[in-house]
Amino acid sequence: MEIDAELRRQIVVSLAAVLVFVVGLVAVGSRFGTGSGSTDGISLAPAGGIALVGLLGGFVLLMALVGVYLMRANGTDGAV
């Protein structure tokens, strides 16, 4: 299977969006995580839960925007 420029752009843009999400997860975990990481385990502060829900919502919106961008860049109008 040959990877053309369009498919390469889709892969790069999608991976960049997922990377932003993973970095956000690490940031929320390090900012709002409680516990020492030993046998006590690690938990998330209540404000961290709200931040995590916001991060998930932001990721859904980001992926929707990425999809719209890729459709427009491909020259399709999204009609089935």
54-79 residue pLDDT tens: 999 999 999 999 999 888 887 766 55
Task: Name all contacts of 74-77 with Cβ < 8 Å and 24+ positions apart.
Answer: 74/6
**Residue 22 included in any domain:** no
pLDDT band for 37, please (50, 70, 90 cuts).
low
Looking at the structure of the chain, the number of domains it has is 1
The domain in which residue 66 lies consists of 47-73
The residue ranking higher by pLDDT, 80 or 18, is 18
**Residue 18 included in any domain:** no
**Residue 13 included in any domain:** no
Supply angle C-alpha 6, 11, 14, rounded to 5: 120
**Residue 36 included in any domain:** no
